[in-house]
Structure 1
Amino acid sequence: MSSYPTPTLATARLVLRPLVATDAEALFAVFSDPAVVRYWSAEPWTSVAFAEQAIARALDSYRAQSEVRFGIVLADTGALVGTVNLHHFFAQNRRCEIGYALASGHWGRGYASEALEAAIGYAFQGLDLNRIEADIDPRNGASAAVLERLGFRKEGYMPERWFVHGEMADTVNYGLLRRYWNERP
């Protein structure tokens, strides 16, 4: 069985680290914001209990080494402002999926790209993966731009894949191969 430990990674402005119980309030602040979950297939969290449950699932995944779940923390303040998750690993095929969320008050500063770059680097170098997949709502132009800047390529379109906030929503599938990553300028 493959294992997927969650290390602590540092970038110029961020620290990516495992979630801890004391992150509950900050995590709740991220996922209770309707703007953050606009394109997710879940409603905004309505109590800190949702965050506590998410952290409990993360702690279970750390013990089982079944997923890599990072809290995104601002290096200068220590504030948790989002998450990056590597999940749905397929060890035989050396691939996984990636998901991410960033507090809306921190959008437009390059934090998502910076955090994803660190997590992807770890996936390819530290975990020896060959492929990372993402799926996003095609209306989420900011997320598409982040993925494309990092070398992800559009690979498919699935109409009405999710039921999101009372309506059917489409999906655009993206893929990033290690060789695409290594070919970046």
Structure 2
Amino acid sequence: MFTKHALGRGLPVLRTERLLFRGLTPSDDETIFRFLNDVEVIKYLNRVHLPTKLRARRLLKEIWISGARLESVHYGIRLLEQDELIGVISFQQWKEDKKEAQIGYMFDRRYWGQGYGTEAVGRMIRFGFEELGLQRIEGKCHEHNQRSQKVLIKNGMKYMRTHKHFSLFPKNGQDVLVYVKEQTL
């Protein structure tokens, strides 16, 4: 079982049939920046009022800061065969004492519709339950993000509630659907 303290020394490598998960490094910034600059990739994120390049820089900064503080766990998702970074997946708002976290993910648009999201989320959920000792994982997505809804549902997450006009900036708020999966003993 991994604790936050243990993960502070480095993330274990995770694998699926087609994917490799490794901790992010500064050399990944350029690739992440590229797909954060794709309007289709980021249109459901909470920073819609910011210009795309500024939004990308702030998100990268948040990833590094929250990881250093052990508030989150971010993995780079790579194609196993080519070692190409295609996305990022994370546990955010990780509350070790309550054994819960929120899962988040984003992928380079070139890799949408190929089952990578479902595969990655499934592996991360298993990691959370089996290796981090989580008992509850929450996933959120905007109501119009049907692809993300399908990924969560295919991984056994159940719809719980809707946050009305959810946003860091209320004028830009959209309804956000909340899905939950709990560890069954």
Quick check: 1:28–1:50 contact (8 Å CA) kept in 2?
Answer: no
Give the match for residue 28 of structure 1: 33
Quick check: 1:30–1:102 contact (8 Å CA) kept in 2?
Answer: yes
Alignment of 1:29-178 (within 5 A): 29-43=34-48, 45-46=52-53, 49-50=57-58, 53-54=61-62, 56-57=64-65, 61=67, 63-162=68-167, 167-178=172-183
Deviation at 1:95, TM superposition (A): 0.5
For structure 1, the residue ranges without an aligned partner over 5 or more in a row are none
User: Would you identify which runs of 4 or more consecutive aligned residues in structure 1 move more than 3 Å?
Assistant: 47-52, 63-66
Give the match for residue 9 of structure 1: 14
Quick check: 1:16–1:71 contact (8 Å CA) kept in 2?
Answer: yes
Deviations 1:13-59 (A, max 9, x none): 1111100111111111121110011111124641675576356336x
TM (norm. structure 2) is 0.85
Moved more, 65-74 or 15-24: 65-74
CA RMSD in angstroms, aligned pairs only: 2.3
Identical counterparts, % of pairs: 25
For structure 2, the residue ranges without an aligned partner over 5 or more in a row are none
Deviation at 1:90, TM superposition (A): 1.8
